[in-house]
Every structure is written in structure tokens, then in C-alpha cells.
Amino acid sequence: MSHIRRSISVAVLAGAVALTTLLVLAPQGQSQEPEFTLNFGTVAPDNTPWSDQLKDIQQRVQRESAGRIRVRLFTGGSMGGEVEMIQDIRDGGRLQGGGFTTSALATGANVPQLDLPELPYLFRSNKEADHILDNVLFEPMQKRLWRRGIHMSMWAQNGWRSFYTKNPMNSLADLQGHKMRTQESDVHKAMYKALGVQAFAMSTAEVLDALSRGTVDGFDNTALYAQASGWYEPTKHLTLTRHIFQPAAIVYSKAWFDSLPDDLKKIITGDRLKDQALGRRLVRELEPALLANFGELGVTVREPSDAELKPLIDSTRSVHEEFREVVGSDLLDKVYAGLAELRKTK
């Protein structure tokens, strides 16, 4: 585990240095006692672009509020799994904010529409994902979360998910020979069912032990999370299926956010578009180094052909239709229309 943390620390050094240049010392004369405390939870590990950006937000909020808001970060799932933390924020518990994947928010906040961006093979590129998230989905998702007691501030991202397995995966049949871990998400579970793969839903805290014991022998996630969490260690093979683009979001308790005066609300909100762009850039710039690093870690990396991907794409189209039946057509049709328009301009 120490090996991978050193590897990631070196890989993100440039990004971390860039971030620290943005930070300045808090102004003198800050309040001795903060008026508000923001306990912020996430499963994002330390020494990653995610934690670096959260530390940037932490220092910015404390600096710009002149100490009126104290921000405490709880990274690496130290406050529980994603769904547990989301429910805690919604119900006014230990946490007032956090950063979570959209599928976890769909489950924890009971907003099934948030599963939409994680439909398998919905997006073909980062450009498509960014366009739909920013121009089609942000306001509708923000409104739905608001009704559930959660204020959504901005998008973040986990990235492109692929399959990690103990045995080589050269076909769908190979994947079907594995027991896979899935997120506690309806759309993720539906994907594995459509693929004919046995999958077990579990929180992030359970995964490494389950892989080590053989309860499961594979999972899907991003290269960054696989290395930062150490999940790659019990597996030997990464197949770059890129079957799900996984966004995340920065959210706060609505009750806590509403309790802030207007000037502090503006500080918490920040510059959404600028912060989103920074987070995406830091994660994406790191991916080539992470994939190269797998060779040194004893993990083979394989890029499947279009012909090999076709059975996965065809099998998972049923997940889109299942989503339509459960959640409705309105948002999905808008996403399809936005993608069709974008693809015409290529």
C-alpha cells in the first residue's frame, strides 16, 4: 500500500504544486471562534487530485470567510460509506457537506434520476459528458436534490470505469466467469445483470477485504481510484472497457446552507465553472501516468477492440430502457437529443 501511495504522490506532484500556488495565507484578524462549522466527508483518498482540490476549497472558504467558517475534511471514507454519509448530510447528522459519485447520491438521497449519467456506454468522450452535465443535467439535478434536503454546488468526477479481474478478460464470457463487486446503485446492479455477471453490492470499506478473501474476484472503477485505494492489488488484469463515465458532485446540507448569511453562501458556492474545470483537468491529466504505472505494479492493461466491446454495448442497452421505465423519459430524451446534436457537429 505504501508503494502505491508513493507512486500516486509523485504522479500528482505537478498538480499539487499548481494548486498550492493558488493558496495564500489567511488574512490577519480572523474570528477566534468560527460562526459555522462545515464537516465535509468523502471516500476520496488522500494524495489524489480529489483531496488536493478539496483542500484548496477548504483553505479558500476559511480565508474568504475570515475564519467565520471552519472546514474539517474527512477523507478516505473515515466517516463511513458514500450512501451512509449522504443520508447523514440529508438528515442533519455529523456532516454538513461532502463529495460523492452520482450513483451514490441517487441511492442515498433517493433521487433515481441521478443514475442517468452513469448509464453504461451513454457517453463516447469527455467532451460529450461535460456538455451534457453542464448544459442539460445540472439544474434539473440540483432542483431534485434540493427537494431532498441537499444543496448541490458543483460537478466533480471520478472518471471512466473499467473492469479489473483476477483472470484475463478477452470476452464477455470471460467476465461472466468472475464474481464482481458492484456499487450500491440500481443502474450498476442492472448493468451486471444485463451482462449476465454475478455481482455483489458493497460499500467501499468492504471491497479490499472481499477481494483478498475471494468473496469477489473483480470490480469496476477508475484507474485513479483503483490505485489510490489499493483495490488493484488482489487483481492482475485491467481491461479498458470504459463502460461508465462516472461524475461526482459537491453537496451540502440544505438546512445548513440555508442557515448561512448571503455573503457566506457566495463563498461556499465559489466559481462553479472554474472549480469544475480544474477538478476535471487534474483527474484527466493524471490518467496516462496511472495506466503506465500499472505495469510496474504487476497489472496487465489491455485495450479491447471495437468488436470485443460490441457484445457489452449491445447487452447493456436494456439498462437504458429499464431506466426509462422506472424513472421516465423526459430527462433521458433530453440527454439523447443533446448528444445527437453534439455528434452532428463532428
Per-residue pLDDT, 32: 61
Ordered by where they begin, the domains of the chain are 2-344 (3.40.190.170)
Residue in the structure block whose three cell numbers are 468473496: 215
How high is the pLDDT of residue 287?
Answer: 94
The predicted structure's pLDDT at residue 22: 33
Q: Which pLDDT score is estimated for 346?
A: 62
Q: Residue 178 has what DSSP assignment? A: S
Measured CA distances, 301 to 11, 162, 177 (Å):
18, 11, 19
Q: Could you give the percent of the chain with pLDDT greater than 70?
A: 90
pLDDT tens readout for residues 224-270: 999 999 999 999 999 999 999 999 999 999 999 999 999 999 999 99
Question: How much is the pLDDT for 27?
Answer: 39
Please write down the long-range contacts of 197-203, taking CB distance under 8 Å and 24 or more positions apart.
Answer: 203/77, 203/80, 203/81, 203/82, 203/83, 203/84
CA distance linking residue 54 with residue 45, whole number of Å: 11
The confidence score (pLDDT) of residue 47 equals 87
3-state secondary structure labels for all residues of the chain = CHHHHHHHHHHCHHHHHHHHCCCCCCCCCCCCCCCEEEEEEECCCCCCHHHHHHHHHHHHHHHHCCCCEEEEEECCCCCCCHHHHHHHHHCCCCCCEEEEEHHHHHHHCCCHHHHHHHCCCCCCCHHHHHHHHHHHHHHHHHHHHHHCCEEEEEEEEEEEEEEEECCCCCCHHHHHCCEEEECCCHHHHHHHHHHCCEEEECCHHHHHHHHHHCCCCEEEECHHHHHHHCCCCCCCEEEEEEEEEEEEEEEEEHHHHHCCCHHHHHHHHCCHHHHHHHHHHHHHHHHHHHHHHHHHCCCEEECCCHHHHHHHHHHHHHHHHHHHHHHCCHHHHHHHHHHHHHHHCC
Q: Which residue has the cell 481510484?
A: 225
Strand partners of residue 218:
165, 180
Give me the residues of the chain with pLDDT under 70, please: 1-32, 346
Beta carbons within 8 Å of 306's beta carbon, 6+ residues apart: none
Q: HSE on the CB side for 75, CA within 13 Å?
A: 17
Q: From CA 107, how far away is CA 149, in angstroms rounded?
A: 14
109, 150 Cβ separation under 8 angstroms:
yes
Question: Which grid cell sits at 241?
Answer: 472497457
- Alpha carbons 101 and 198: distance in angstroms, whole number: 23
The structure's pTM equals 0.87
- 68 and 264 Cβ atoms separated by less than 8 Å: yes
Looking at residue 173, its pLDDT comes to: 97
